[in-house]
Structure 1
Amino acid sequence: MKRWIISIVIFSTFLFSSNFEKIAYNYFYALVNENYKVAYNLSSNIMKQHLPIEKIKKIWQQITSTYGKFEKIVKLQIIEKPPYKVFIFTSKFKKSNLNISITLNKEGKIDGLFFSPAQNVEYKIPQYVKSDKFVEKDVKVGDLPGKLTIPKEHTKYAVILIHGSGPQDMDETIGPNKIFKDIAYALSSNNIAVLRYNKRTLYQANENITIKEEIINDVLKAIKLLKDYNYKEIYLLGHSLGAYVAPYIATINDNISGLILLAPPARNLEDVIADQLKFLQNTSNEILQKLQELKENKIPNDEFVLGAKAKYWYDLRSYNPLKYLGKVKTLILFGKNDYQVTLKDYNIFKEHLTNNTKIILFNGLTHLFIPGEKTPNAYLIENHVDAKVIDEIIKFIKN
């Protein structure tokens, strides 16, 4: 199956919080794309003396012969060392990881380039997690590997985490961040069991997959698993696409006590993604026209649009969460710096709130509910789900 929709679009381009950041990225990708003249032109005069074009080329060829082909950036760290600013790109190559450090002087010229072996990015437990309060158990949700974090004290509360779009692991790993792991450990530190599992599209290559096969059927299996563990109150916590379909699941299964929706789209996804692409400023009018035709039902069912067949998009419309709000108590959370599911969706939900629905907008948080600026680059900076978000979820579940 072609890799698709929101989770892939976010890394299709870069927006920059500063001109220095843009220069560092341009230099990095000049190396990756073997545009050595571009890298040379971005360099300071001293750097040009030490690294002429042929030497840059030779160094990069040595790197790729040793580490293999560059695959992706897994982490970005920015260090201030006045008058310098250092950008450390932890990068995944075919054979192993490598730190590529690019130093800029105060004029915005490249003044240093260093390479060093990098370990795999290790998860750091957030300060709000109390590891002695729970245990973690390997489980299976149908045929999908998962983990159940179980509080050591008896509890009646349990939460199922539902992924956003695209192939996702159980931690919803994006760059160095693992937002589902943060949430699972935080809630279980507060006497709430949490079930998370690998998403089906991490394994299943099927161009004809539907949202039921992608998400819904597995959530129903997860509910049954928690019932077998005798949890009395089961909550669904969905992120992005997972939040979009969670209210529907609550209408077809009577075991759901409440919903937590993180950045749920209120509009059809073709509208959400069109706005996202416009924000990223890296798309052709042809793609936007294709999304408009999709919106007007003019695309044949089996034609691909952004990696998914048109019939997948058409089917998604029937699960719009606004149709299903109100059956159970619901907490809806948005980040003000979310460029993927935006204030447009937040305002639509505000207009459709029911008596048992609460909505909160957090300043300074991204689509991942971590602190960061309104750019895709924020996802590459290591961080954790904000403690304020965790506190609101816990209060909501425990009423």
Structure 2
Amino acid sequence: MAPTRRRVLQALGAASAAAIAGCSSDGGGGSGDDGNDSTGGSTDAPAADDGDATGDGSAQDEPQSPEAAARQLVDHLFAGEYEAGQALFVEAYQSRATPAILERLRLGFNAAGGAFQEITGVETSVRSGLDAVDLTLQLERTTAPFRVTVTQDVQIRSAIIAGEYERASYADAGRFDATEHTLEPGGCQLGATVTTPADAEQAPGVVLVHGSGPSDRDLTVGANKPYRDLAEGLASRGVAVLRYEKRTFACNVAAAEHTVDHVTVDDALHALSWFRNRDDVLADDVAVVGHSLGAMMAPEIARRDGRVAGAVGLAAPTRPLADVFLDQVDHLASVGEHTPSGIEQQRNQWQRAAEQIRTGNFEDDESLLGYPGALWRSLDGYDPVATAEGLDVPQHYLQGGRDYQVTVEDDFAAWQSAFGDADDVALSAYDPLNHAFLPGQGPSVPQAYAVPNQVSESVVADLAAWLQR
């Protein structure tokens, strides 16, 4: 069945956060994930209106060509002239390119790539009756693609970060083999990829487990594929990896059946059993590696499986997810100088929903914070730290210092408190990394996920060394 496309950060465990920021798909990204409108950094999406925008454009020269309009937008964007940038858009779309949204677009470029240097490339084409201008932006640490579509009367219709995935620099294609498979747990077919070291008859292995929302096997976010980076990087270092489509990406799941067991734990247990039966995998040396909600559930997956060689949590929440989500909204409201006028209303709505979740006053098919009540009910009473403390297997918890979705202060600190002196539990923090373990600087914003990047090599190297200890 065709995957449902929703918003980009749900795949990273932050339902609806990108909707506030105005992220949307306009082509040029990978397949959808959590609602993955996969390009992440688009101004062509419904968003909360920004009350301080003037949008009159009276103080700027009118561009005379699509390229001039695109260049003018870049100039305004990186000069912090967001009202002037908004005025370049078709009037009907100016509410989708408010100063708040444009500011976050600039912050996304800067976070992932550093300061803007210059435009180094321009290509023009026609797409769906609109002039498309593809710009290559030279940033301090990388280049970034920026596509601007322009109407016949030289007004901007959309602007997106439209890059394509590039294999991680540390992934050596000559050192691993990749094969395609289909897992069939409980009436759903999940596309999967197994990546194995090319020079080993048998290798230790890991199964990658997704976060809260729908995601493809690569955890595709814009031009980035963090799970593919991990899989190919680990396989290049001697570790076999299984990654698979999440059930909510591959198949329709009724709201009332959307429990954490049905959409996460049971499929992970099936994947572990399937992976152990391969001749090229050491059956007694397979670990579970979860990200976000998958990391939160990694101790429970390990407990139920009973055979894993280790449990790994990448950005593992320790708090109730409703609290995690509310803190994400607070962060997004605090970033930059411009705040969307609708964010306080959304915060109040989420606060009411969080209270419903705490009291259990909801139906299983009721949507709360972007997820069915069944999911929230199934998580009630689950304590990842207590579950982890009951395990008798090695564990490793890794955390990005720039992660605003699962934080060092509120989540990683709990893992440190529980396991700071434990010999069989490793704790690793990486200051420059965000929730997807992509490096950057400055404030973390959803749009940064769309800028071409790669999972930090230090994470891959540390994880490979720990798995082969």
After TM superposition, the score normalised by the length of structure 1 is: 0.78
Instruction: Tell me the residue number matched to 1:278.
Output: 330
> Displacement, 1:39?
8.4
Instruction: Tell me the residue number matched to 1:349.
Output: 415
> Displacement, 1:127?
1.3
Cα pair 2:55 2:87 within 8 Å, conserved: no
Residues 214-240 of structure 1, C-alpha deviations (whole Å, 9 max, x = no match): 011211221122111142210111100
Instruction: Note the residue ranges of structure 1 that are not aligned, 5 or more in a row.
Output: 16-24, 61-72, 104-112
Say how many residue pairs are matched: 362
Give the Cα–Cα distance (whole angstroms) in 2 for the partners of residues 333 and 369 of structure 1.
9
> Displacement, 1:81?
6.8
Q: Does 1:296 align with 2:359?
A: yes
Aligned residues with identical type, % of pairs: 25
Distance 1:178 1:334, change over 3 A: same
2:174 is aligned, of 111, 119, 132, to: 132
> Displacement, 1:253?
1.2
Cα pair 1:27 1:39 within 8 Å, conserved: no
220-229 or 319-328, which moves further after superposition? 319-328
**With CA pairs under 8 Å and 6+ residues apart, which has the higher RCO, 1 or 2?**
2
Instruction: Tell me the residue number matched to 1:67.
Output: none
Residues 180-199 of structure 1, C-alpha deviations (whole Å, 9 max, x = no match): 00000000001111111111
> Displacement, 1:289?
2.3
Distance 1:234 1:269, change over 3 A: same
Aligned-residue Cα RMSD (Å) equals: 4.2
Give the secondary structure class of the aligned counterpart of 2:174.
helix
Distance 1:300 1:30, change over 3 A: closer
Cα pair 1:77 1:381 within 8 Å, conserved: yes
1:367 is aligned, of 431, 435, 446, to: 435
Instruction: Tell me the residue number matched to 1:247.
Output: 299
Give the Cα–Cα distance (whole angstroms) in 1 for the partners of residues 87 and 328 of structure 2.
40
Cα pair 1:223 1:255 within 8 Å, conserved: no
266-275 or 346-355, which moves further after superposition? 346-355
Give the secondary structure class of the aligned counterpart of 2:395.
strand
Residues 16-58 of structure 1, C-alpha deviations (whole Å, 9 max, x = no match): xxxxxxxxx99945999999xx685357522379889999649
Cα pair 2:20 2:47 within 8 Å, conserved: no
Q: Does 1:174 align with 2:226?
A: no
Instruction: Note the residue ranges of structure 2 that are not aligned, 5 or more in a row.
Output: 23-39, 70-83, 94-104, 138-146, 151-158, 334-342
Instruction: Tell me the residue number matched to 2:268.
Output: 219
Which is strand-richer, 1 or 2?
1
Instruction: Tell me the residue number matched to 1:207.
Output: 255
Q: Does 1:327 align with 2:392?
A: yes
Cα pair 1:133 1:189 within 8 Å, conserved: yes
2:462 is aligned, of 381, 392, 396, to: 392
Give the Cα–Cα distance (whole angstroms) in 2 for the partners of residues 272 and 342 of structure 1.
9
Give the secondary structure class of the aligned counterpart of 1:361.
strand
Cα pair 1:207 1:309 within 8 Å, conserved: yes
Give the secondary structure class of the aligned counterpart of 2:447.
helix
1:150 is aligned, of 178, 196, 209, to: 196
Give the Cα–Cα distance (whole angstroms) in 2 for the partners of residues 181 and 149 of structure 1.
9
Instruction: Tell me the residue number matched to 2:21.
Output: 14
Give the Cα–Cα distance (whole angstroms) in 2 for the partners of residues 123 and 12 of structure 1.
23
Distance 1:45 1:314, change over 3 A: same
> Displacement, 1:246?
1.2
1:338 is aligned, of 403, 416, 422, to: 403
Cα pair 1:183 1:390 within 8 Å, conserved: yes
Cα pair 1:244 1:319 within 8 Å, conserved: no
Instruction: Tell me the residue number matched to 1:107.
Output: none
After TM superposition, the score normalised by the length of structure 2 is: 0.67
Give the Cα–Cα distance (whole angstroms) in 1 for the partners of residues 54 and 203 of structure 2.
58
